[in-house]
Amino acid sequence: MKVVLKNLTKRFPSRDKKHPEDVIAVNDFDFTIPDGKLIGLLGPSGCGKSTTLNLISGLEKPTSGQIFFGEDDVTKLPPENRGIGLVFQNYALYPHLTVRQNILFPLQNLKGDAKMSKQQMETAALNVAKLVQIDGLMQRKPSELSGGQQQRVAIARALVKMPKVLLLDEPLSNLDARLRLQTREEIRRIQKETGITTIFVTHDQEEAMSICDLIVVMKDGVVNQIGAPQEVYDSPENLFVAKFLGTPPINVFEGRVKNGRVYIGEEDVLSAEGLTDGDVYVTVRPEGFKAESDGVLSLDLERIEVMGRDVSVIAHHTKSLNADIRAIISSDISLDTGLSKVRFNLNPKKVFIFDKTTEKRLK
Ligand code: ADP
Ligand code: MG
**H or E segment and range at residue 181:** helix 177-194
Give the torsion sign (CA, 125, 130, 132, 136). positive
pLDDT value of position 342: 93
- The structural domains of the chain, with segments of one domain joined by +, span 3-239, 244-362
SS3 state at 126: helix
Q: For residues 346 and 294, is the Cβ–Cβ distance under 8 A?
A: no
- Ligand 1 pocket, mutate which of 15, 24, 50 (most atoms under 8 A from CB): 50
Q: Measured in Å, how far apart are the chain's first and last C-alpha atoms?
A: 36
In the reported structure, the alpha carbon of residue 48 is separated from the centroid of ligand 2 by a whole-number distance in angstroms of 7
Cα of 349 from ligand 2 centre, angstroms: 34
Q: Are 280 and 262 in contact (CB under 8 A)?
A: yes
Atom of ligand 1 nearest to the CA of 48: 6
Residue located nearest, by CA, to atom 17 of ligand 1:
25
Pocket test for ligand 1, best of 9, 23, 56 (most atoms within 8 A of CB): 23
Residues with CB under 6 A from ligand 1: 12, 23, 25, 43, 45-51
Q: What is the pLDDT of residue 221?
A: 98
The protein residue whose alpha carbon is closest to atom 15 in ligand 1 is 46
Residues in Cβ contact with 199 at an 8 Å cutoff, skipping those fewer than 6 apart: 3, 33, 39, 40, 41, 53, 56, 165, 166, 167, 168
User: How close is the Cα of 19 to the center of ligand 2, in Å?
Assistant: 22
For residues 339 and 47, give the distance between their C-alpha atoms in angstroms, rounded to a whole number.
Answer: 44
Confidence (pLDDT) at 178 = 85
pLDDT, averaged in runs of 10, over the chain (363 residues): 98 87 96 98 97 97 98 96 91 92 92 89 95 94 92 93 95 87 92 96 96 98 98 98 97 97 96 94 97 94 86 95 94 75 96 98 94
Distance in angstroms (rounded) separating the CA atoms of residues 310 and 360: 31
3-class SS at 241? helix
Arch. (CATH architecture) of 3-239? 3-Layer(aba) Sandwich (3.40)
Closest ligand to 19 CA?
A: 1
Instruction: Name the nearest CA neighbour of 344 among 305, 303, 286, 304.
Output: 286
* Nearest residue by C-alpha to atom 26 in ligand 1: 12
Q: What confidence score (pLDDT) does residue 128 get? A: 93
Number of CB atoms found within 10 A of residue 31's CB: 15
Asked whether the beta carbons of 199 and 167 are under 8 A apart, the reply is yes
Neighbours of 35 (CB within 10 A): 14
Distance from the alpha carbon of residue 88 to the mean position of ligand 2, in angstroms? 9
Nearest CA residue ID for atom 22, ligand 1: 12
Looking at residue 29, its pLDDT comes to: 98
Q: Which residues pair with 346 in a beta bridge?
A: 289
Please state whether beta strands 3-12 and 64-69 pair in parallel, antiparallel, or not at all (unpaired): antiparallel
The pTM of this model reads: 0.94
pLDDT of residue 76: 97
Residue 17: per-residue pLDDT: 83
